[in-house]
Structure 1
Amino acid sequence: MLEEEVITIGNVVQNDATVTVNIEDFQDTTSEDGVVTINFNKKENENKVAEELTTLILQEEKNLTGGNITKIQELLNKLPVEEKRVEMTYRKDELIKSLKAKNLTQELENSINSGNNIEKIESIFSLMNKYEQISKLKRNCSLEKIENSLISIHKDNFEELLNNGKYSLESIDDNIEKYEELKKNIEMLQKNIRFVINISLKDVIVDEIKALNDKKNSIDSKLMELLNCDEESLELAVKSQLLINTINSGNSSEEIDNAIIENNYIDYINLGQKRRKKALEMFIEKKNKNYISITDVKRDLNFIVSVLKKESTTTDTIKL
């Protein structure tokens, strides 16, 4: 097509003789006799989209319901002006954050007001986690009533529930389960604590993290003894034991695959998805006993990987 034959509508250049127009993008008015007036003025249409966007965003900022978010995104997709789109996208993202904070705040208030339902220490961690998420999403919002309630819950329940927990465990599996649980709760509390403004509640969360770390240290010591490893290699030893448990329990191929990948077996990972599937089938078929050590797992895996690598080099045809 010659350059003078190119038709441009908005930001879209037509590359054939057919002009495709989305009427909704350009419709201006509809008269009483049903005739639709279409405005092809690019600047006017951009301004019209921007004005509608501004109106919807202001409505949400004034009364946060979330009802306009989908329409706001649709209009953003139509807005070609880069600077305006960046500004409006930022305002939309702030609305979504505020909406999430509003929902979390309502959930937190409902949980606190539902009565004496703090029967497990995990319930306290869940409440603290929601509060930290709200603090991250809305840095300057007033949560004084919630904060006072959380401090009271900590004073009334935390120490008793912590001491009621079982931490003197004998078997490897029980200690690993408690190790993973404590690690998860510590990480959850640590994740957003820097966003907490209330000093008193921040001190409470720090105390909870310290108490959990003390319990975890005792579990760590027991696991190092059971797994015959030192502190530096403890996490790797736990991962290896979890892999052995996953294989021996007859879990699904997907779970075994994920566990092997999490243990960072590079040669297995580098097989690629298709050959990895075949390797896993061979591995599961080969396994006729419960594994005791990770050395046995590695031996069988390495053998299968080497077989598949040899097959690959002898059967693949490369065309240049």
Structure 2
Amino acid sequence: MRRLFTRMFSKNRPLFPYITAAGLLIAAMLAGISTGSVKVPIMDVARIIGSEAFRLPIEVQSDPMYMNIVMNIRLPRVVLAGLVGASLAIAGAAFQGLLRNPLADPYTLGVSSGASVGAVVTIFYQLSLPLAGMYTLPLLSIACAFITIILVLFFARSIDRTMKVETIILTGIIFSSFLGAVISLMIALSGEELRQIIGWLLGSVSMRGWSFVQIMLPFLLIGSCILFWNARELNAIAFGEERAKQLGVNVGSRKIAVLASSSVLTGAAVAVSGTIGFVGLVIPHLVRILWGPDHKHLLPLSVLAGAAFLILADLVARIIIEPAELPIGVITALIGAPVFAAILIRRRMGKRS
């Protein structure tokens, strides 16, 4: 028993944080599925999912209404919230590692706003790419997200050749404000699409269904795999670009890979759930405090913790003013804004000392 405990807590075999994060995710999923206007007992939830989703030989004697609530309403909502939270968290961790600053995330860098513009344009003009079908919305959101981060970096470099992170973040905030104005203009010009655009912008995973899970999943898998593949290079870049080059890292190509994959993750998340801020800021920062900055562990742990966090945030948004619902972005902002301020104050105090 002692040997197992030692292995779990060993730095070489850090099983404990993975077990903890996975346990938290499972608990969050069970809570999200069982809790609502109609409470479904957790044992019934486990039986229904085991029987219907995993085809396990389990006898299910639950109320048919429970079966419909779990499989068609709450389970897809919880799974989608988990996928969106995981995408935003790992994208935030990658941006922070690449820019070497805990204040960087898709929201503060303007990437989320860029993806939002792509989605709003798609909804407003009812665009449909040839052969893309239902993937038109995420593809255009991803394209706009990537264009936005490129423009942010270009303008930041024009302002400050040293590319200080503070300059990049301020440029991102400026772009975010400008793109927000563009979105407001499109809302003012919209007619029948107004309700759809506003409902989408508020941020929600309500009534999305399995089709949105199907849209989100491939982009999460592709983006996450690219970032996992570049975890060692992110560790090297964290020591500075010159040091990374000395270690044999092709910094230019790795930067493009990380920026592109993070934009894929952010664009897809925004496309299916709207603008949800601060997940990419809070979760990587918390994981880094608890376990350290090694991206080989930081990235996968951010996936698990981000998924659990957004599932719980969605649960709070559902029940806090029941039977009405709050936008999920309100809950994440209420948590994320104070954390953002605390990180900023801590950095300023650190520089003064």
Greater RCO structure (CA 8 Å; 6+ sep): 2
Q: TM-score normalised by the shorter chain: which range applies?
A: under 0.3
TM-score, normalization: structure 1? 0.23
